[in-house]
Amino acid sequence: MANPTIAEKFESYLDYPGMKKGLFGWIFSIDHKRIGLLYLVSMVLFFAVGVTLAFIMKLEMLSPGKDVVDPQTYNTLFTLHGVIMIFLFIIPGIPAVFGNFFLPIQLGAKDVAFPRLNLLSWWLYMIGGIFAIVSLFLQGGPIDTGWTFYVPYSIRTTTNVILPLLGAFILGFSSILTGLNFITTVHRLRAPGMTFFKMPLFVWALYSTAWIQVVSTPVVGITIVLVIIERIFQIGIFDPALGGDPILFQHLFWIYSHPAVYIMILPAMGVVSEILPTFAKRTIFGYKAIAYSSLAIAFIGYFVWAHHMFTSGMSDTSRMIFSLLTFVVAIPSGVKVFNWIATLYKGSIDLRPPLVYVMLFIFLFSIGGLTGLILGSLATDVHIHDTYFVVAHFHYVMFGGTIIILFGALHYWLPKMFGRMYNEKVANIAAGIIFVGFNILYFTMFILGYQGMPRRYWSYLPEYQTLHIISTVGSWILILGMIVMFWNLIYGVLKGKSAGDNPWGGTTLEWQIQSPPIMENFHEIPTITHEPYYHAAAINTEDNKHKKIDEGENE
Amino acid sequence: MTDNHNKEHHLIGYGTYFMIWLSLISLTVLTVSIAGVNFGSIALLIALLIAAIKSGLVINYFMHIKFDDIIFKIFFLVAMATLFAIFVLTSFDIFFR
């Protein structure tokens, strides 16, 4: 990048004396970096709750019949695990944390287009989360519908349905406002010289994601309102006993919730496209193909929703059309994976923790993606629908894809966010433990599902027990790996050695500024003259810096 | 943007706003009135058509899209095209079930 603004030892956004002090200086800050960290802390807390619920569920699966919880509690456990992980963790996920922090910096801007709206998004996120949590403790008991809120059960159950639904409605607003903010920022606040095709691919991914957030989230908002109205006034929109159409609910729910899968995965794909060129020390292979494939995934992602409904009783015409469209979405995803692998070809590969996570991602996401094709085929889907096969596929894509990359993004960008480095050896060991635990936990579910183990069942036939035990042991290994990883990162942030401004030799704008960044990111807005992953210019300067960091670690 | 802003003030007067409002009221009355007539399977299409005309008026005049940059029109058309495709795809279930 031309005119990099390298600033040393200026007051960072972490120390900036704002209008308010202490906690208020954070929860009322309109700085995009502070808001990104607010999201990070709140999301990690919700993630910990979600993991704990899953841990209890897996314990219950150790043997048929009751181990630790009764059936009704098990129903609420899987519902809350889904609601928390999906609506409070993985949907805001990468855009809310790293998008907020790095989108303006990568564009050469001082902040997002609407900083106050950005803060409002975080507040709405917290209010939505509180609604969902409060519902657990009110009379009626926690929601037990599954995270999909399917009717007619969600209309008839006596548990607290309305409050978590309202929570999801409010969270939807948070998502829409963030999307709106990002679209406007990309269109209005790019630095001089930064054309669309000079934007980093993470920005492209966020831009595509933002469109999905803005266009599809209102659909689920309206659907939620309809369910609430039906519960209160018994109108008969979805409940067949009142003349409604329950499959209509499934259409409306998945018109949002399938594109929402791309809200979750597209930003992760953007992070992969950032990490790979940095650690392959070469420009990305097929920049435009990756950029366009993000838009293509976002667009085609709207038209495949009913592949969640093959066994629901909808028309055969629909089933065939949606099965075909589902296969089409594999094309842009394949384009991306091909370009990532090709980027590594003849690159000067530097296998450090962020790249290790990307390797895990490519492996796990490919398994998740390919098993998606088995589910997308009508004939095979009928056999494995609503079994552990679906659970395994979903977790390979969402955990093996998005969350693994969220971990990778933490390892990639945390040194920039806090200016300190974690222990790389421990990070690699943690990644190894996570990989082993992950596959033991979820691969067994593919086999269980194929053998006919239904999802969401509290008990099972004795022949499934061995695989259930193996799977539960896998969950312990996975949790151990995550504890080591978070401990290493937190220790690094608090007490790690100075990371320097550009520990990885990155070429995008965030690596040309101080670590941690100053409040306004740049002393002078840079002018962009070439593409984002231009390593030729960087080799001379960055290699020297790289060596220094390596030497620093050995001190 | 400033130029567009000025243009808006030149182009839309209170009279236009009033006429749009009257049209919206009239179309609402029309929707309610023809709901009592049995149009059979095309009743839904008629209701959707009237609703589309109403939203077109609101979007173009009250939301000023008619007088805005081409980029906003493209954004809007892409969103509408997506919505239309969703309607068509849903209809494959509704009409062939």
Whole-complex ipTM:
0.81
Task: Tell me which residue in A187, A303, A318 faces B96 most closely, judged by beta carbons.
Answer: A318
The token pair at A14 is 């972490």
- Determine contact: A247 vs chain B, CB below 8 A: yes
A322 contacts on B by Cβ (under 8 Å)? 89
- Determine contact: B97 vs chain A, CB below 8 A: yes
Average of pLDDT values for A355-370? Answer: 95
pTM for this one?
0.90
The token pair at A356 is 């290790």
Give pLDDT tens digits for A433-472: 999 999 999 999 999 999 999 999 999 999 999 999 999 9
B90 contacts on A by Cβ (under 8 Å)? 251, 255
Q: Give the largest Cα separation in chain B, rounded.
A: 53
Identify the residue whose tokens are 């999906």: A86
Q: In chain A, pLDDT over 70 holds for what percent of residues?
A: 95
CB contact under 8 A, A322 and B79: no
Q: What does the pLDDT read at residue A474? A: 97
Question: B57-83 burial by CB neighbour count: b if 16+ within 10 A, else e?
Answer: beebbeebbebbeeeeeebeeeeeebe
CB contact under 8 A, B96 and A315: yes
CB contact under 8 A, B89 and A303: yes
CB contact under 8 A, A315 and B82: no
Task: Tell me which residue in B82, B85, B92 faces A317 most closely, judged by beta carbons.
Answer: B92
Give pLDDT tens digits for A128-148: 999 988 988 888 889 999 999
A317 contacts on B by Cβ (under 8 Å)? 92-93, 96
B95 contacts on A by Cβ (under 8 Å)? 315
B86 contacts on A by Cβ (under 8 Å)? 255, 302-303
CB contact under 8 A, A215 and B97: no
Interface test with A, best of B89, B91, B95, B96 (most A CBs within 10 A): B89
Cβ count within 10 A of residue A404? 26
Give the nearest chain A residue to B82 (CA atoms): A302
Q: What does the pLDDT read at residue A50? A: 95
Average of pLDDT values for A333-347? Answer: 92
Torsion of CA A33, A39, A45, A47, to 10 degrees: -120
Q: What does the pLDDT read at residue A16? A: 81
Average of pLDDT values for A473-493? Answer: 97
CB contact under 8 A, A318 and B85: no
Instruction: Answer whether residue A543 shows pLDDT above 50.
Output: no
Whether A107 contacts A199, CB under 8 Å: yes
Instruction: Answer whether residue A537 shows pLDDT above 60.
Output: no
Q: What does the pLDDT read at residue A66? A: 92
Q: Rounded to whole angstroms, how far apart are CA atoms A97 and A125? A: 13
Q: Residue A351, exposed/middle/buried by CB under 10 A (0-12, 13-18, 19+)?
A: exposed
C-alpha Rg value of chain B to the nearest Å: 17
Give pLDDT tens digits for A33-74: 999 999 999 999 999 999 999 999 999 999 999 999 999 999
- Determine contact: B44 vs chain A, CB below 8 A: no
Task: Tell me which residue in B79, B85, B97 faces A315 most closely, judged by beta carbons.
Answer: B97
Q: Rounded to whole angstroms, how far apart are CA atoms A237 and B32? A: 20
If pLDDT is split at 50, 70 and 90, which confidence band does A19 have? confident
Give the nearest chain A residue to B97 (CA atoms): A315
Whether A231 contacts A161, CB under 8 Å: yes
- Determine contact: A289 vs chain B, CB below 8 A: no
Q: Rounded to whole angstroms, how far apart are CA atoms A408 and A403? A: 8
Q: What does the pLDDT read at residue A546? A: 47
Instruction: Answer whether residue A386 shows pLDDT above 80.
Output: yes
Every domain of chain A and the residues it spans: 34-554
CA A139, A141, A145, A149 torsion-angle sign: positive
- Determine contact: A190 vs chain B, CB below 8 A: no
Q: What does the pLDDT read at residue A536? A: 64
Which residues lie below 8 Å from residue A466, measured CB to CB, with a gap of 6+?
none
- Determine contact: A255 vs chain B, CB below 8 A: yes
Q: In chain A, pLDDT over 90 holds for what percent of residues?
A: 84
Q: What does the pLDDT read at residue B3? A: 45
Q: What does the pLDDT read at residue B10? A: 53
Q: Roughly what angle, to the nearest 10 degrees, separates helices A316-344 and A246-280? A: 10
Instruction: Answer whether residue A544 shows pLDDT above 50.
Output: no
CB contact under 8 A, A314 and B82: no
If pLDDT is split at 50, 70 and 90, which confidence band does B11 have? low
Q: How many angstroms separate the CA of residue A391 from the nearest CA in chain B?
A: 26
Give the nearest chain B residue to A325 (CA atoms): B89
Q: How many angstroms separate the CA of residue B31 from the nearest CA in chain A?
A: 20
- Determine contact: B70 vs chain A, CB below 8 A: no
Instruction: Answer whether residue A108 shows pLDDT above 70.
Output: yes
Interface test with B, best of A255, A318, A323 (most B CBs within 10 A): A318
Instruction: Answer whether residue A322 shows pLDDT above 50.
Output: yes
**Of A108-117, A165-174, A350-359, A536-545, which range is least confident?**
A536-545
Whether A244 contacts A230, CB under 8 Å: yes
B1 contacts on A by Cβ (under 8 Å)? none
Q: What does the pLDDT read at residue A5? A: 46
Give the nearest chain A residue to B90 (CA atoms): A251
CATH for the stretch A34-554: 1.20.210.10
